[in-house]
Chain A
């Protein structure tokens, strides 16, 4: 039964995600881990956290991208198989939030990734940090876009 609804497609796929904290404050990273634990349990949607970007369909990015993290982020992105997409978790990943004036950030993650892949697709989940429910909603939206 090939469902064409967003939710149906989201359930049919089993997206594997790789979590990459670029230089955030930890809070979004913890909320991402929270999504995996019993109350929110995104594994029921087939979402699995994997240990390498080479295994991942979706990159979860949290935090502004510091100068030191710029290259590792671009390398991780290029290692991912296609089709690939990134979920920007938190306002720092979306737009750098309070760190936009800081001297040590290289830019928001979408700009850094588009330097090496102009066609990259993103879904933005704002919040400081976004609640786990919001992250799940963003993930479902992203799966519809894939």
Chain B
């Protein structure tokens, strides 16, 4: 079994029928077993952080919605959280509730999308069609409330840009009622289905220790028994005032991840109902704000896990630096633990299990000169990054006695 001569390298991607986005995986297999996995992820690098540094604070949230089509509320609200952290301001309660509503609607359609795709990945298209059919009314509700199926353009530093049309709330409530019944049926069907149990139980197991080692976040961590959730640990928007619970499972396999997401749909519906009932009156934003020099960090529980934005301001109307750490960035390396030793047939669903979003993640670009030689390889990039951090720390006056380690 461990005869190296029987090793083959199988390439998946960059354009693979099961992948929405271009990404390259190379799997080293011995017979049917995967013994090593590597990924190439620079196909979607778009230079968004750089673009954000050329736009004003009002324009950046709209640009950041385009980091990822599913997490559009995530990235724009996370950026607003970061700038509000820098400013040290609290947003008005009505704005906090509106952000919660659009954030949870996004979680609903994202989780339904994943359930469908997971069915598709194991060749069970009935689940795919069901879940996506149930997802449509959520997109309709989002469109009714914000004017667009996914990109709301609502978040703004200091609140939200527009108010929600309260006349549509009864329709949204009805959508939630129907979705609750449908999700309960879907959950029951998934739990009882022998096909799904055979394909998903015990597949791609990520133990709690491995989850901690890799620092995974979101449903990937919660399915391994780690109860982490930014909404509870460091509440933003209106989560501190709402009654809901963090869903965890202990299996660590793909089945547990599916169950976590299905149960989270029901929790999101509970959160949404409370928000629609209690939406406070008042202002929806703080008006024009001047962003002084400084730095801020925003955290947000995306459907895939914790999203972090770092913003540094030099006192002008544009951020001097924006750094995005998307949840998939920490979830993807855990494939090293969950895929190794698995048969080839289980790899696709294991790769899909953490709901990887490559357009959020791909942040690398290799520069080559005319002859095709790499100008900066990984060690060079790390060295350049350390140098830059050191210079920034000096310029900001942090750690004045810090010496750059020559190694």
Kindly state the interface size class of chain A when it binds its partner.
35 or more
**Hey, what's the 0/1 contact readout for A10-36 against B, CB within 8 Å counting as 1?**
000000000111111111111101100
The complex places the Cα of A39 from the Cα of B357 at a distance, in Å, of: 25
The complex places the Cα of A29 from the Cα of B46 at a distance, in Å, of: 16
Name the residue on B nearest A92 (C-beta): B66
A102 in contact (CB, < 8 A): yes
Residue among B47, B70, B129, B365 making CB contact with A26, cutoff 8 Å: B70
Which residues in B have their C-beta under 8 angstroms from that of A30? 20, 69-70, 113, 150
Residue among A20, A26, A37, A102 making CB contact with B357, cutoff 8 Å: A26
Interface segment among B48-56, B162-170, B194-202, B311-319: the answer is B48-56
Asked whether A103 and B17 contact (CB < 8 A) given A26-B68, A37-B129, A131-B149, the answer is no
Q: Is there an interface contact between B17 and A52, defined as CB atoms closer than 8 Å?
A: yes
Count the A-B residue pairs with Cβ separation under 8 angstroms: how many? 117
Q: Is the interface of B mostly helix, strand, loop or mixed?
A: loop
B85 in contact (CB, < 8 A): no
**Hey, what's the 0/1 contact readout for A66-110 against B, CB within 8 Å counting as 1?**
111100100010000000000000000000011101111100000
Which residues in A have their C-beta under 8 angstroms from that of B50? 102-103
The complex places the Cα of A67 from the Cα of B117 at a distance, in Å, of: 28
A128 in contact (CB, < 8 A): yes
B132 in contact (CB, < 8 A): yes
Of B44, B51, B54, B132, most buried by chain A (CB within 10 Å of CB) is B44
Which residues in B have their C-beta under 8 angstroms from that of A31? 149
A64 in contact (CB, < 8 A): yes
Q: Which residues between 29 and 70 of chain A lie within 8 Å of chain B, taking CB atoms?
A: 29-31, 33-34, 37-39, 49-53, 63-64, 66-69
Q: Is there an interface contact between A69 and B129, defined as CB atoms closer than 8 Å?
A: no
The complex places the Cα of A99 from the Cα of B132 at a distance, in Å, of: 29
Name the residue on A nearest B367 (C-beta): A67
The complex places the Cα of A137 from the Cα of B136 at a distance, in Å, of: 19
* Shortest beta-carbon contacts, A-B, top 10: A27-B69, A51-B17, A26-B69, A37-B132, A102-B47, A23-B44, A38-B133, A104-B47, A29-B20, A68-B43
- Chain B contacts to A: CB under 8 angstroms: 14-15, 17, 20-22, 42-48, 50-51, 54, 63, 66-70, 72, 113, 116, 128-129, 132-133, 136, 149-151, 357, 359, 365
21 residue pairs A–B, Cβ–Cβ below 8 Å: A20-B15, A21-B44, A26-B69, A27-B72, A30-B69, A30-B113, A37-B116, A37-B132, A38-B133, A53-B15, A66-B44, A66-B45, A68-B45, A72-B14, A72-B22, A72-B43, A101-B54, A102-B46, A102-B47, A105-B46, A129-B149
